Amino acid sequence: MRFLRDTILLMNRALREAIRQPANEIGNAFIPLFFYAVTVGAVGDVAREAFGVSDYKGFQLPVAILQGAAGVAGGAGLAMTLDIQSGYFEKLLLTSTPRLAIVGGRMLADGVKSVILCTLIVAMALAFGSGFETGPVGMVALVLSGGVFALCYSGIGVAIALKTGSPQAAQAGFLLFFPLLFLAPTFAPLDVFATWLEVIARANPVTYILEGMRALVTGGWQWGSLLKGSAAILGMGVVTWTMTAMALRGRAAGG
């Protein structure tokens, strides 16, 4: 109970910070919206002929969701390094709050910001003419999965921030996302991939997250894809949260 209450208190603090310093959030919103518009504009008309995708606007929507969520999730690590450098992190360690709440608040704030951004992205995609097979319930599921993805992915940046205290290193956590995204069926379905790329893509958890989200938009309630996607997000969460907890323990021990 105490953990949950303090996590929410610290989440509110992180959200206030985002509202008062909106530049980062504007950047996080611009990148996925821009790439969505450009990619759909460039490939949309030939997608059916080239690789059999009739609703390319819907096909690209999960990519924008993941880009946006990952961008938002990079914020927690960076903000954590700023807290460490300013000494505020130490002040939080000196309170009686459960220490996991200190990182949990930041990560949960990323989840909330991601939900807001994903809602915006879905609205834009619908305005562009994207279909949505699973209707409003599916839209809510997609937006929430974007939030959960951000919550999980932010663990990478936060763990790096806690381990190194370096803003540059924490931002590198966000850059890790790009190889993962481009080694997945981002622009075309898996069945048109070269064999070597398909092998890599099938070992990449982002592939299953993307396909699960894509099922909501273009495929309908395909439970197999949805379960695999959910498992991939949660699996990633287990790994990143474990990394974060270990890094927190190391930093809190103080040497």
* DSSP classification of residue 129: T
Q: Which is nearer to other proteins, 97 or 240 (CB)?
A: 97
**How far lies 23's CA from each of 75, 84, 115, 119, 243, in Å?**
12, 21, 18, 19, 29
Q: Tell the smallest beta-carbon distance from residue 165 to other proteins (Å).
A: 13
Q: How many CB atoms lie within 10 A of CB 195?
A: 7
Q: Which is nearer to other proteins, 21 or 242 (CB)?
A: 21
Q: What is the rounded end-to-end Cα distance, in angstroms, of the chain?
A: 30
| Helices 56-86 + 167-175 axis angle, to 10 | 170
- Binding-residue pattern over the window 58 to 87 for other proteins, x denoting contact by CB under 8 A: -------------------------x--xx
Q: Which of 23, 94, 127, 194 binds other proteins (CB under 8 A)?
A: 94
Q: Tell the smallest beta-carbon distance from residue 148 to other proteins (Å).
A: 26
**Residue 46 and residue 125: Cα distance in Å, rounded?**
18
Q: Is 88 in the site for other proteins (CB under 8 A)?
A: yes
Q: Which of 90, 199, 234, 246 binds other proteins (CB under 8 A)?
A: 90
Q: Is 1 in the site for other proteins (CB under 8 A)?
A: no
* DSSP classification of residue 217: I
Instruction: List interacting residues with other proteins (CB under 8 A).
Output: 2, 6, 9-10, 13, 16-17, 20-21, 83, 86-97, 253-255
